[in-house]
Chain A
Amino acid sequence: MADVALRGVSKSYDGRSDVLHGIDLDVRHGEFVVFVGPSGCGKSTLLRMIAGLESITAGEVRIGGQVVNALPPRSRDIAMVFQDYALYPHKTLFENMAFGLRLRKTPEDEIRRRVMDAAKLLRIDGMLDRRPAALSGGQRQRVAIGRAIVREPKVFLFDEPLSNLDAQLRNEMRSEIKRLHQRLGATIIYVTHDQVEAMTLADRIAVLSGGHRMQYDTPDAIYHRPATTFVAGFIGAPPMNLVDCRLDGDAADLGGVRVPLASRSLAGAARGAALKLGVRPENLRLARAGADIALPAAVCLLEPLGAEVLVTLKLGAAEVVARCPAAFREPPGTPVTLYVDPSHVALFDAASGTALSAPSAH
């Protein structure tokens, strides 16, 4: 296993439209890194460039300290799990997993041992003489993971491996992949468009948008201290509330409603500047606590989820969503008072979308 380093990695087709713009990124040995972003953000392309399936237009990819730009995929000592499984349909499961080892002239008893170990780990050891056609989607993806494991590569690459599975199986496989990482201690780079997968699996998340790296940090930091409005809106379900406002003294003016700001929030913002105020739905509460400030609001819409209810509220000129206890049943139109801790409020520059301040506590 080894670390991976990307230095100014860019991709463009025909020298025209850039798909990726100078991505810098370090993946430490044994780290689980997730590339997340909407479709078309370049995350899969970036993964394929690390794998050697896409050429690198500019910049450098290093695996274990070695620049691999010019190396073909087979020489990079990586293994990849594809969204569509990509199992060899004409080979049995055993041969699917053994293929890479056979090409590397591994001794037969060593192949047998490694394949059996991986098969037991993934609970597919009873079906090794079958062909992929006889398997369910979840089993096929297990085989694909097994094919990667037996190689004992430096780096594992996962390209949206759970996208084709149904919801329940996806949750199951997600925790299995996490367990697998804990057990193998392998370096993993994992691509997904699903922010829940990103949050649950990653040691660090790289959020990509439009071929740019928006933020690269721990799930905790990404969630609580988003670097841009894009990250704030992309991570979290429902996403962070983003409300247009203007800076007025030490408060944000939401068009009639003033939100006093923690003094640290003000750094770098000019008076009267157009800003976006961000606050997570769970930080808008119906009961006062500690240093909370009170905001007058009115109920617009209730979305009960069982354990809780998502309440859309009118706050000044804007609408915000609050995560409320399941017992909340006020009909639309009811005036309520929202409480928010000023330290939970993030401020973004309205034009650039970059964070001016981040919430300090969570």
Chain B
Amino acid sequence: MSPAARVATGLPANPLAGRGLRLAAAAIVVVNGFFPAVWILLTSLKTETELVRKPITYWPRNLTLDNYLRAFTDQPLLRFLGNSLAVALASTALSLVVAALAAYAIARLNLRRRQLILTAIVASSMFPLVTLLVPIFETMRALNLLNTYTALVLPYTVLNLPVCTLVLASFFEGIPRDLENAAMIDGCTRVGALWRVVVPLAAPGVFTAGILAFVNAWDEFLLALSLNANASMRTLPVGITLYQGEFTFPWPTISAALVVAIVPIAVLIALFQERVVGGLTQGGMKG
């Protein structure tokens, strides 16, 4: 690259300095993202006395797993975990199926009011959840669904649809139409071609949308608190608030419960990140 081009692209003249800057920027992002999680992990391994000791210790002096034991025994944490998993997995699966069909229609069928539909989808995700809370609550009560998984799965699915649809549509658009045409000539119906060819090739998009939907459902607090108040139906975010007493704040125990809530997400992303990054569509078409 010529010096002039470097100036034009905003890159520093010294490639070593450029590398240093990039590393520094990456470090800021990583520390910002991971520090809270690491801090929670360290706190969960400290005793309560060590936590309030001054000067503060960063690395726990006496490592202990008692907090985890307490987290699982003080409250039915395993039950919360199970509830969260069930609700998040079901709403993610449902979101993906419905969003895939919607996204395919947007990406492929020559819809007359495509732009209007896209705008409506984006607009529908702009209502603050608080404004939807009462109508959703009343609906679920009328349907006699309060304190069931369905009460959360349905609204989570609906809330996740806009982002899932948009992500999938943009991935579907990148898949050559002749691949589906080939599949339809080979013997698929249009829907068959969608499931057998388009969705597998849009795997990075499917995983991206799936992870977004799962994390959203996993984290959700307001609806979970309002719709499933019954102790046995609480999800993790709601359950974790129960560890604090009227006068006590057992931070190490809460931290242990938080770590339990973080681990499934971390595992999920670690498992699928390669698929999200990987380009599966290479090689089938020219170029």
Residues of chain A whose beta carbon lies under 8 Å from any beta carbon of chain B:
51-53, 72-74, 78-80, 82-90, 99-100, 103-104, 131-135, 137, 140, 147, 151, 164
Binds A, one of B43-51, B82-90, B175-183, B257-265: B175-183
Please state if B201 and A89 are interface contacts (CB–CB under 8 Å). yes
A87 to B285, CA, bound (A): 6
Is the Cβ of B201 less than 8 Å from the Cβ of A84? no
The residue from B178, B187, B282 contacting A74, defined by CB atoms under 8 A apart:
B187
Contacts of A100 in B (CB 8 A): 185-187
| A164/B286 in contact, CB under 8 A | yes
Any A CB within 8 A of the CB of B163: no
Q: Does B41 lie at the interface of the complex (its beta carbon under 8 Å from any beta carbon of A)?
A: no
Q: Judging by beta carbons under 8 Å apart, are B186 and A74 in contact?
A: yes
Q: Which 3 A-B pairs have the closest CB atoms?
A: A133-B283, A89-B284, A103-B187
Can you name 30 A-B pairs with beta carbons within 8 Å?
A51-B185, A52-B185, A53-B184, A53-B185, A73-B184, A74-B186, A82-B178, A85-B286, A86-B179, A86-B182, A87-B182, A87-B285, A88-B182, A89-B201, A89-B280, A89-B282, A89-B283, A90-B284, A99-B183, A100-B185, A100-B186, A103-B186, A103-B192, A131-B283, A132-B284, A133-B282, A133-B283, A133-B284, A140-B286, A164-B287
> Could you tell me if A86 and B283 are in contact, using CB atoms closer than 8 angstroms?
no
* In the assembled complex, B148 has its CB within 8 A of some CB on chain A: no
State which residues 155-196 of B face A: CB under 8 Å. Answer: 176, 178-179, 181-189, 192
Closest to B285 in A: A84
Least CB distance, B284 to chain A, in whole angstroms: 3
* B200 interface residue per 8 A CB criterion: yes
Residue of A nearest to B187 (CB): A103
Pair B284/A87 contact, Cβ less than 8 Å: yes
A52 to B179, CA, bound (A): 15
- CB atoms of A137 and B286 under 8 A apart: yes
Taking CB atoms, residues of chain A closer than 8 Å to B200 are: 90
Type the 1/0 row for B245-287, where 1 means its CB is closer than 8 Å to any CB of A.
0000000000000000000000000000000000011111111
Q: Which of B186, B282, B287 has the most CB of A within 10 A?
A: B186
The CA of A78 and the CA of B281, in the complex, are separated in Å by 26
Chain A hits for B189, CB < 8 A: 72, 74
Our pick among A84, A90, A132, A151 for the contact of B178 (Cβ within 8 Å) is: A84
Please name all residues of chain B whose beta carbon is closer than 8 Å to the beta carbon of A84 when the two chains form the complex: 176, 178, 285-287
Nearest A residue (CB) for B281:
A89
Neighbour of B176 across the interface among A52, A86, A133, A137, CB < 8 A = A86
**Residues of the B chain whose Cβ atoms lie less than 8 Å from the Cβ of A135:** 283
Number of interface residues of B (CB under 8 A): 24
Q: How long is the Cα–Cα vector from A89 to B286 in the complex, in angstroms?
A: 11
CB–CB B178/A86 < 8 A: yes
Given contact pairs A53-B181, A80-B182, A85 touches B284 in the complex (Cβ within 8 A): yes
Shortest B191–chain A CB gap in Å is 11
Evaluate contact between A86 and B181: CB separation under 8 angstroms.
yes
Alpha-carbon distance between A79 and B186 when the two chains are bound, in angstroms? 7
Complex alpha-carbon distance, A134 and B282, angstroms:
10
Asked if A73 contacts B185 (CB within 8 A), the reply is yes
Q: Is B225 an interface residue (CB 8 A)?
A: no
B197 an interface residue at 8 Å Cβ cutoff?
yes
- Docked pose: A234 CA to B287 CA in angstroms: 29
Complex CA gap A347/B220 in Å reads 81
In this complex, which of A89, A133, A147 has the most chain B Cβ atoms within 10 angstroms of its Cβ? A89
| A132 and chain B: residue at smallest CB distance | B283
Q: A326–B21 Cα gap in the complex (Å)?
A: 66
Chain A residues, CB < 8 A from B183: 88, 99
Instruction: Give A145 to B264 CA distance when docked, in angstroms.
Output: 47
Q: Are A134 and B283 in contact (CB under 8 A)?
A: yes
B184 touches A74 (CB 8 A): yes
B176 lies within 8 A of A151 (CB): no
Q: Is the pair B187, A104 in contact by a Cβ cutoff of 8 Å?
A: yes
* B178 pairs with A147, CB closer than 8 A: no
Most buried by A among B187, B192, B197: B187
**Contact: A74 with B181, CB < 8 Å?**
no
**Cβ-defined contact, B282 with A99, below 8 A:** no
What A residues does B285 contact at CB under 8 A?
84-87, 89
Distance (whole angstroms) from the CB of A102 to the closest CB of chain B: 8
Distance from B285 Cβ to chain A, minimum over Cβ atoms (Å): 5
Beyond known contacts A85-B285, A99-B187, A133-B282: 16 more, CB 8 A cutoff: A52-B184, A73-B181, A84-B178, A84-B285, A86-B181, A87-B283, A87-B284, A89-B283, A89-B284, A90-B201, A100-B185, A133-B283, A134-B283, A147-B182, A147-B186, A164-B286
Note all chain A residues with C-beta closer than 8 A to B197. Answer: 88
Cα separation A52 to B181 with both chains bound (whole Å): 9
Q: Which residue of B lies closest to A137 (CB)?
A: B286
In the complex the two chains form, what is the Cα distance from A72 to B186 in whole Å?
A: 11
